[in-house]
A and B are shown apart, each in its own frame.
Chain A
Amino acid sequence: MDTLTTPPSNDTPRGSLACVGMGMTLGSHLTPLARSHIEQADVVFAALSDGIVELWLQRMHPDVRSLQPYYAEGKSRMVTYRQWVELMMTEVRAGKKVCGVFYGHPGIFAWSPHKVIEVARAEGFAAHMEPGISAEDCLYADLGIDPGRLGCQHFEASQLLFYERRIDPTGYLILWQVGLVGDLSLKRFSTGPAYRQVLVDVLSQDYPLDHEVIIYRGVTLPIQKPRIHRIVLRDLPNATLTAEETVVLPPAAPLKLNLAMRERLMELDKAYSVA
């Protein structure tokens, strides 16, 4: 096999940034390109959901700095996320090749990777996002759902409480971060049954209380099995649910034919003589 090597450059080092996804499962999901970004970086920052996956990452680079210690109960997560951006940008500005490693896909339900890339580009640095296999991808595979069949809405669960959103119960509804639903303070890592009851009350406007709800956890270590727990909507408040689980509501109603549009399309077909 031919090997290519990057030519050495005499230019003064210019900082750059790559935010890459680690995928969900140790050993299974890391892409060759994401691995290369990690190996070629001067500094690696890591926001991973599993401490053992972080140990695996440390095997790939001598300078892996965990972003986990910046979280704290009672401290706004928004403050934490801004700190992450600053930590990464400080190294980029110092001329370093920086790699931010995030579990799953770095751009899915993740604020800082998008933000730090935006900031780096605004300051004239090269910045790139490299996709990874997300919890969403694992969910489709493990639950046998094709988002294209009936459509699929994804929300951070809290957004359904903080804002008026329109749910379409003829497609799948996927709710992220249900474990901390309704936390306006952003200072907690779990809320609890009373908060989940508010979510159930909102959902009950579109779903019957005995509607199926799937609590899903994909595997982070290759010796685990996915957790797929089926309950009914009314039992969601008291179900066991961690911050790393995703909640799925299957469709509650059949698709409705749009007769007016079909009529219109048939007219068009006639006009273009394809009928």
Chain B
Amino acid sequence: MSDTIELLNAIGQDATLRHASADELAPILEQAKASEALKSAVAAGDSSLLFEELGHKPNHAPQITNAPGHEEEEEEEEHHDGDHKPHHPSEPDHHKPHKQ
């Protein structure tokens, strides 16, 4: 059986495979001796079927927060009155507008 991560990597970097339909991929996966999990994930269009082989680690996506009251420690004292300036925690210089 082929290594599923390597096969996914190969599909991800090949212009034909990356955009191939499930029907087009099926014989290619067969020939490459893909795992049953990968073959059924592609056939069903459901990548969660890979969890059976690779395990499932639910990962969290959020990485930012703009909530008042959670700013840098240094600033926290200044804002106990609840009058939060609209600043951004990731902005070291709060006088500059956040540019992204």
Contacts and interface: CB of A to CB of B under 8 A. Distances in A.
Contacts of A54: 57, 59
Nearest to A163: B86
A77 interface: yes
Contact of A51 (B42, B45, B56): B56
Interface string A196-225: 000000000000000000000000011111
Contacts of B62: 77, 177, 180, 189, 243
A162 interface: yes
A56 B50 contact: no
Nearest to A105: B100
A71 B9 CA distance: 28
Interface residues of A, number: 54
Contact of B89 (A28, A49, A111): A111
For chain B, what secondary structure do more than half of its interface residues adopt (helix, strand, loop), or is it mixed? loop
Contact of B66 (A68, A71, A76, A162): A162
A222 B8 contact: yes
A181 to B, nearest CB: 11
A223 B90 contact: no
Interface string A159-178: 10011110000000000110
A78 B92 contact: no
A77 B57 CA distance: 19
Contacts of B90: 110-111, 114-115
Contact of B12 (A28, A48, A108, A186): A28
Given A27-B11, A111-B89, A51 B54 contact: yes
B70 A186 contact: yes
Contacts, number: 125
A47 interface: yes
A65 to B, nearest CB: 14
A50 B58 CA distance: 7
Contacts of A225: 45
A49 B63 CA distance: 10
B61 A162 contact: no
A43 B9 CA distance: 23
Given A52-B50, A223-B11, A110 B66 contact: no
B64 A26 contact: no
Interface in A82-105: 102-103
Contact of B60 (A27, A184, A243): A243
A154 B61 contact: no
Contacts of B61: 49, 103, 177, 242-244
Contacts of B65: 77-78, 81, 111, 156, 158, 186
Interface in B33-72: 38, 41-42, 45, 47, 50, 54-70
A26 B47 CA distance: 13
Interface of B: 5-6, 8-13, 17-18, 25, 38, 41-42, 45, 47, 50, 54-70, 86, 89-90, 92, 100
Given A27-B13, A114-B90, 5 more contacts: A50-B59, A51-B56, A52-B50, A68-B59, A186-B67
